Structures are given as C-alpha cells and as structure tokens.
Chains A and B, each alone.
Chain A
Amino acid sequence: MSAPSPLRGWLRPHRLVMLALALGIVLWAVLAGDWAWLPKYTPLLLKGLGTTLAILAESVILGAAVALPIGLVQVTGPRWLSAPAQLFCTVIRGTPLLLQLWLLYYGIGSLFPMIPGIRGSFLWPYLREAWPYGLAALTISFAAYEGEVMRGAFAGVPRGELQAGRAFGMSPLKLFWRIWLPRALYRALPTLNGEMVLQLKSTPLVATITVVDLYGVISRVRSATLLTYEPLLLLALIYLILTALMVAIFRFFENRLPTRGA
C-alpha cells in the first residue's frame, strides 16, 4: 500500500532467479512426469473437487450454527448447559479427527442396522452411505473448535456495551440480537479464515471412509496407474490454490469491513 509500486518492490533480482527455478521445477515435473492419465480423469477430478468444496461448505455452515449456542452457553448459560458444552469441546479437541471419523463410520454405523425397522425408514438410504458420516464428523469437529472461538468472542464483548443496551431498556433477546451477537461475530471473524483453511485441510480424511472427494479421486488414480508422485503433486498444487483463493477472498472481505484492532 505504502510502496509506490508493490510489484517492483516484490520482483527483486533474487526473486526472479527463484521464480525461474520454481518454473523450471514445474516444467521438469510436467515434462519428465507421466501425465497421460490426466485427460481421462479430469471429469472425475472436477467431481471430486465439487465434493470436497461441498463438504467444506456444508460442514462450516452447520458447524458454525452449532458453535454459536455452544459458545454462548459456556459464557452465560446455567451450569447444566455450560458443563456439557465444555466437555464436548474438550473431548472433540482432545482426540484425533481420524479416530472420530472412524468411530462414527465403523462404530455408530455398525450399530444402526441393529435397530429394528430402520431399514424401512426414510433415513436408511442416507445411513447406508459414507458421506453423511464424513459430514457429521467434520461438522462436530468444526463446531468444537469454532465453539471455543465463539466462547472467547462472546466473553470479549465489552461489558459497557451490554450495560448500555440494558440501560436503554432492551429485552435480553433484543440485546442479544442487536449488540451481543453482532459484536461477537465481529470479533470472531478474523479467526474464521484460519479455521476454514484448517477445515479444508481436514476434508481429505473423509476419503478413508470411501467418500470420493478430491483426495479420493487421486488415490484412485494412484492405484490405477501405479504412479507415486505425479497425482500427489497435482493434489498438493490444487490444495495450495484453494488455500490461496480462500485467503484472498477473506482478505477482500476483511478490507471492506471497517475494523479497529481486535
């Protein structure tokens, strides 16, 4: 911003050399590697990308919706609500996501068929598939991490602002909608970007329970073509681009929001 030309400042001689080196490595990977599989798998890759993004978006939205009450009751709720919420956050954040995922899919998934009559219910088509378990595990995980963030955000809203609302005679509900929630969301927003990048990086785990996301497609390519590096390098590149896009989008919105410190 302050530099006259950001590009000129960025493109210093050594960076040009490094760029050339990086391009050389990419070129070498493209020329020396075996990419004959790529055209054949492109439609599948795009579908996998769609699945990854869908699971990411769904789990973030659902998880954030669950995180709000979890954060709130820990700040203001009665003991019988705050204690379970705290326990939930501790347990989920204290165990690996892969284990939770497998517990849901293999564990709970193996219990469902024992319930009499469930095979005839409308739920059965979903319970038989893998992605609901993946979505559930990712949602729970996001809710626990984001719930902790929301707890801090709710607790961090200055008392004076809430007291001012009360002094104006706002009902507790109105106070919540007009002041407490917007101010807390405002404080939680900067961390959301990081949390979403972490969530994106968790999505490939669902491939271990047979959901065919981006990573799942690449695993399929690897077993079909017996290539080790090419598919994995492409996968890493796609995730790099996705992360960069996400960061750029968030930066755009953050710059539009008038924030003063945190």
Chain B
Amino acid sequence: MDQTFWQLLALAPPGWGGVLLTGLAHSLEIAVGGYLLGLILGVGGAVGKLYGNEIVRDLMETYTIVVRAVPELVLILLLYYAGTDALNRLMAALGRSPVDISGLAAGIFVIGVVQGAYATEVIRGAIKAIPAGEIEAGRAYGMPGGLLLRRVTLPAMLPHALPGLANLWLIATKDTALLAVVGFSELTLVTRQAAGATKHYMLFFLAAGALYLALTLVSNIAIARIEKWARRGMPQVHA
C-alpha cells in the first residue's frame, strides 16, 4: 500500500507529485503578484482616504466597502469575466485585435483588487498610528509629498502595519485556491484533477493540504523575522 502511495506522489510523470508542485508554483506566483498589487492599491487607497479630497475619500470608501462585503468567489467571477471583457472591448475600440489574457494575469489582477481593499484599511490604520509630529517634522523641512511618503510615512507605519499585512499574505495564499473555480490550474484544481484521475481522493487532498500548511508555516517564520527587523529599536511589547 505504502509503495503505491509513493508511486502516486512521485515527481516523474506516472506519479502526480510534479503536477502538484507545478500547481503550487502557480499558486505562489499569483499570491506574490496579487499581494504586491494589493500593497500598491492599499498604499494608494490609504493615502487617498487620509489625504484625498472628499470625492476621492468617498470613492475609496465605496471600493473598500463593496470588496469587503461581497464574497471573494463572486468578486473573482465578476472581475475575471468583466476584466477580460472590458479589456477586449477597449482593444476593439482602439481598433486592435482582441488579446487573450492569460489566467495568470487575470488571477493576479483579481487577487490584487481584493487584497487592495483590505490592505487599504490596514495601512490607513497604521499611518494613523504614527505620531503626528514625525510627519509634521518632515513637512516643516519642506519635503514634497512623495518624498515624505517614501522617507517618513511608509517606514514609520511599517511596524504598525506588519501584523495586518502578514495576515493578508496568509489570506492571499489561501485565496488563490478560489481561482480553481474559474479553471486556473493552481494547486487546488490540479489536486482535484489528480484525485479524480487516480481515485485516491484522500491522499491527494491531504498532500495538497500539507503543501499549503508548509507554505503557511514557512511564511510564519519569515514574518516573525521581518517583524523583528521592522520593530528594531522600538520598545518591547508583550501581547
């Protein structure tokens, strides 16, 4: 029995181990890409919410409320179809031939938009936690907005934002599984295919679970290190 299990999980083609690892790689690509896009959207959203005019603030508020209230699965379907459709209509309007959007790009876009809404709230809270004097000092030195953001606001908010951002990373890795529903061959979908083909459902789902869990645990170790680095020089806090 054990023999066949290892044969099924073997990396070479008769076994499905290689397929699972490729799926994990796809999941990781989307998670990393979506997370980075989400961070960019989050910084933009937070700055817009805190320093924008009334219209910008209300638009950001609408974005975060809608994205956080609608299930990720529904958003993924909507953005996946609407996103590709809108892009192709734009291309048609510009007189170009329709482009075939890769599942990877669409997946990164979708996860990024979802992550961006949560990241906006995390970063907004973190920026508000910075002592006002630090930002005022920067302004008093005549720093322009962009430089102030890069040199003062973002580094100073990092320790406050890290727990929330770390959580978001873990959510991003798990949200990639939802792309299985739109047929993107990430880890969960290839697992189901492998399980369906071999009828060894338990084996493959448990194997995929172990991969996801390993990703989470490795991430936790990395997060602990990053947090320690970001909090250097700050007083110790006991939770």
Q: Which B residues lie within 8 Å of A240 (CB)?
A: 66, 69-70
A224 to B82, CA, bound (A): 19
A118 to B68, CA, bound (A): 43
Question: Does the CB pair A95–B58 fall under 8 Å?
Answer: no
Q: Which A residues lie within 8 Å of B71 (CB)?
A: 200-204, 215, 239
0/1 string, A87-129, CB within 8 A of B gives 1: 0001101111111101100111011000000000000000000
Question: Does the CB pair A107–B213 fall under 8 Å?
Answer: no
A149 to B72, CA, bound (A): 23
Question: Does the CB pair B69–A244 fall under 8 Å?
Answer: yes
Question: Does the CB pair A91–B201 fall under 8 Å?
Answer: no
Q: Which B residues lie within 8 Å of A106 (CB)?
A: 192, 195-196, 201, 205
Question: Does the CB pair B178–A98 fall under 8 Å?
Answer: yes
Question: Does the CB pair A229–B54 fall under 8 Å?
Answer: no
Q: Which A residues lie within 8 Å of B82 (CB)?
A: 228-229
B191 proximal to A (CB < 8 A)? yes
Please indicate which of the listed interface residues A204, A229, A233 has the most CB atoms of chain B within 10 Å of its own CB. Answer: A204
* Partner of B201 from A94, A110, A203 at Cβ < 8 Å: A110
B180 proximal to A (CB < 8 A)? yes
Question: Does the CB pair B74–A232 fall under 8 Å?
Answer: yes
A18 to B57, CA, bound (A): 12
Chain B, Cβ-Cβ closest to A103: B205
Please indicate which of the listed interface residues B71, B192, B212 has the most CB atoms of chain A within 10 Å of its own CB. Answer: B71
A interface, over-half SS: helix
| Given contact pairs A99-B205, A99-B208, A208-B181, A91 touches B213 in the complex (Cβ within 8 A) | yes
B47 proximal to A (CB < 8 A)? no
B55 proximal to A (CB < 8 A)? yes
| Given contact pairs A103-B205, A106-B205, A239-B74, A96 touches B177 in the complex (Cβ within 8 A) | yes
Question: Does the CB pair B54–A204 fall under 8 Å?
Answer: no
A94 to B81, CA, bound (A): 29
A93 to B58, CA, bound (A): 33
0/1 string, A202-241, CB within 8 A of B gives 1: 1111001000000100000000000011001101100110
Q: Which A residues lie within 8 Å of B178 (CB)?
A: 96, 98, 205
Could you list some 26 contacts between A and B, CB below 8 A? A12-B54, A90-B217, A96-B175, A98-B177, A99-B177, A102-B191, A103-B201, A103-B202, A103-B205, A106-B196, A106-B205, A107-B206, A110-B199, A111-B202, A197-B68, A197-B69, A201-B73, A202-B71, A204-B71, A204-B73, A204-B74, A228-B85, A232-B78, A236-B74, A236-B78, A243-B70
Knowing that A91-B209, A106-B192, A111-B202 touch, tell me 19 more A-B residue pairs with CB under 8 angstroms: A14-B58, A18-B55, A90-B213, A94-B217, A95-B213, A96-B176, A98-B181, A99-B208, A102-B191, A103-B201, A107-B195, A201-B70, A201-B72, A205-B178, A215-B71, A235-B74, A236-B75, A239-B69, A244-B69
Query: Chain B residues in contact with chain A, CB under 8 A?
Result: 54-55, 58-59, 66, 68-75, 77-78, 81-82, 85, 170, 174-178, 180-181, 188, 191-192, 195-196, 199, 201-202, 205-206, 208-209, 212-213, 216-217
User: Which 9 A-B residue pairings sit nearest by Cβ, starting from the closest?
Assistant: A96-B177, A94-B216, A103-B205, A243-B69, A201-B71, A107-B201, A96-B174, A107-B202, A95-B212
